[in-house]
Amino acid sequence: MAYRDLREYIKALEERDKLHRITAEVEKDWEIAAVCRRVFQKLAPERRPVLLFERIRGFNIPLLVGSLGASPEVYAIALQDRVENIHERWEQAQRHPIKPVRVSTGPCKENILRGNDADLTRFPVPIWTVGEDPGPYLTAPCVVSREPDTGAYNVGTYRLQVKGPKKMGIWAADGQHVSRHRLKNEARNQSTPVAVVLGPDPAIEMVSVTKFSFETEEYDVSGGLRGEPVPLVACETIPIEVPATAEIVIEGEIPPGYREPEGPFGEYTGYMGAAGNMPVIEVTCITHRHNPIYRAFFSQMPPSESSCIKRVGREQSILKHLQHDLGLPVRDLHLPESSGAAGTMLISIKKANPSDVKRVVSGALRYAEGFGKFIIVVDEDVDIQDHCQVEWAMSFHVQPAKDIEIIPDVQAVALDPSQAPADVPQEDESRKTSSKVIIDATRKHRFPARALPPEEHLRRVDNQWAKYGLER
């Protein structure tokens, strides 16, 4: 059975000892961001819990962070599966999407706030990069909008700046699907209705942060991931339906043609992203469950919940493409979170021919051009999850003048601040091309034997590890 709502999922996390409740009082405008930063810096992924801040000064609403991306293990619990099956589950969901069902009402309607009661400042929306962000930001919104002509549903996550009790700024890049809906409406001088869903069951958040074709309806893929249709209820003030069990739903409209300054916002690159003139969402109504839980994604400098989500979403899909669609001798593929799961791509291969490196790199480039400004290819015996081994291979398998290639004029890594100065808008053409470094760190001739104890000796030591008294 799929999780019915966020609360069932939180119970599952707690049963697996993956939830940590912070019961001490915290302040939303500096402390939550700093605690999250330390948790992601200090705790290795396998020990890193999802955090529920239960007592936030001035609010009686708790905040949940990390529930999709505290670690790949947590992401797998959200799918009720194992880490190695994540990619297969995604393939399955896209091959067999399930249409949502309409229900007459649901928990998200337990409280309906209209007029002055529909006030964003009721919720503990944190400031994430203190001293740089212009104010609090919603970081985990699932923004629901509809194609103006077909009515097809879209769900996408785009940062939302709280600008007043009933106004939010929205930054969605030009090609994003909500932007396409809005541009079509604006051409007709019509507003764009949007519902901002917070704290749905995790299968909605998963599709909200994932890119599909414009025609794909995220609710249906979410149904495919859950193995059951998503139950939807109608909004109160706009012609949009939302997941019935969501914690909070903010209904609103984007007025046509209107822009005002938005940002800058601390981005996944670890730097402030440029500010610009952006549309706004005017809030028309807010509905929420009794005792709602406010949900946020933790992003900014990697590692973060954002870099984990991106890593999980991308690694397996590129790996499977190279292995299965192209039949290349690829063993493993890793997008280190230190690179925002974007800047660096590590690939290990079982090289049979010298041309294998080029074939693998060109396959990766065609499939995922925007990732891997640095692509490093190593032999299969190098564990690419272990940075020490990768740097060892770079140090002793590479002759720079022969083994490093620079490819000019390829797609840039999104929001990479080395592209252009901070005052250049993200949409500027100069930000759209970049170059790449390909490092062939495979062995190109017969190397001497490795200076390591024989595998058999290491295994024997492992088997009698207690004998040495090192584990206390």
List residues binding ligand FMN (CB under 6 A).
154, 156-159, 171-173, 176-178, 209-211, 297, 299, 306, 309
Binding mask 136-155 for Mn ion (x = CB under 5 A): ------------------x-
The minimum distance between CB 210 and Mn ion, in angstroms, equals: 8
Strand partners, 154: 145
Q: Which residues of 170-202 are buried (b: 16+ CB within 10 A; e: fewer)?
A: bbbeeebbbbbbbeebbeeeebbbbbbbbbbbb
Beta-carbon contacts of 171 under 8 Å, excluding residues fewer than 6 positions away, are: 158, 159, 161, 262, 263, 265, 273, 276, 278
Nearer to ligand FMN, 118 or 413 (CB): 413
Query: Residue 157's binding partner, choosing from ligand FMN, Mn ion, none, with beta-carbon cut-off 5 to 8 A by kind?
Result: ligand FMN
**Binding range to Mn ion, per CB under 5 A, among 145-153, 169-177, 312-320, 381-389:** 169-177
Query: Residue 173's binding partner, choosing from Mn ion, ligand FMN, none, with beta-carbon cut-off 5 to 8 A by kind?
Result: ligand FMN
The minimum distance between CB 66 and ligand FMN, in angstroms, equals: 12
Both tokens of residue 309? 């989500």
Nearest of 331, 365, 371 to residue 347 by alpha carbon: 331
Query: Residue 10's binding partner, choosing from ligand FMN, Mn ion, none, with beta-carbon cut-off 5 to 8 A by kind?
Result: none
Nearer to Mn ion, 213 or 464 (CB): 213
Pairing of strands 374-379, 433-441: parallel
The minimum distance between CB 161 and Mn ion, in angstroms, equals: 22
Nearer to Mn ion, 124 or 156 (CB): 156
Nearest residue relative to ligand FMN (C-beta): 156
Query: Residue 172's binding partner, choosing from ligand FMN, Mn ion, none, with beta-carbon cut-off 5 to 8 A by kind?
Result: ligand FMN
Query: Residue 309's binding partner, choosing from ligand FMN, Mn ion, none, with beta-carbon cut-off 5 to 8 A by kind?
Result: ligand FMN
Angle between helices 218-226 and 86-95 (to 10 degrees): 120
Query: Residue 161's binding partner, choosing from ligand FMN, Mn ion, none, with beta-carbon cut-off 5 to 8 A by kind?
Result: none
Position of tokens 């896209």?
94
Angle between helices 86-95 and 305-320 (to 10 degrees): 70
Beta-carbon contacts of 20 under 8 Å, excluding residues fewer than 6 positions away, are: 49, 50, 51, 52
**Binding range to Mn ion, per CB under 5 A, among 58-66, 136-144, 170-178, 223-231:** 170-178
Nearer to Mn ion, 154 or 269 (CB): 154
Nearer to Mn ion, 71 or 154 (CB): 154
The minimum distance between CB 241 and ligand FMN, in angstroms, equals: 16
Cα separations (Å) of 458 from 21, 235, 383, 385, 454? 41, 63, 17, 20, 7
Q: Which residues of 305-326 are buried (b: 16+ CB within 10 A; e: fewer)?
A: bbbbbbbbbbbbbbbbbbbeee
Selected from 159, 177, 373, 431, the binder of Mn ion by CB under 5 A is: 177
Nearer to ligand FMN, 15 or 427 (CB): 427
The minimum distance between CB 186 and ligand FMN, in angstroms, equals: 17
Cβ–Cβ < 8 Å for 201, 6? yes
Binding mask 348-367 for Mn ion (x = CB under 5 A): --------------------
The minimum distance between CB 268 and ligand FMN, in angstroms, equals: 7
Query: Residue 313's binding partner, choosing from ligand FMN, Mn ion, none, with beta-carbon cut-off 5 to 8 A by kind?
Result: none
Query: Residue 280's binding partner, choosing from Mn ion, ligand FMN, none, with beta-carbon cut-off 5 to 8 A by kind?
Result: none
Nearer to ligand FMN, 107 or 372 (CB): 372
CA atoms of 355 and 4, how far apart (whole Å): 50
**Side by side, which strands form the sheet with 231-234?**
101-102, 231-234, 241-243
* DSSP letter assigned to residue 256: T
Nearer to ligand FMN, 229 or 302 (CB): 302
Nearer to ligand FMN, 269 or 348 (CB): 269
The minimum distance between CB 414 and Mn ion, in angstroms, equals: 16
Q: Which amino acid is at 221?
A: V
Query: Residue 101's binding partner, choosing from Mn ion, ligand FMN, none, with beta-carbon cut-off 5 to 8 A by kind?
Result: none
Nearest of 326, 252, 339 to residue 287 by alpha carbon: 252
Nearer to ligand FMN, 209 or 347 (CB): 209
CA atoms of 165 and 290, how far apart (whole Å): 21
CA atoms of 202 and 77, how far apart (whole Å): 10
Nearer to ligand FMN, 222 or 348 (CB): 222
Could you tell me how many residues of this chain bind Mn ion (CB under 5 A)? 2
End-to-end Cα spacing for the chain? 42
The minimum distance between CB 255 and ligand FMN, in angstroms, equals: 19
Which residues in this chain contact Mn ion in the complex, by CB under 5 A? Answer: 154, 177
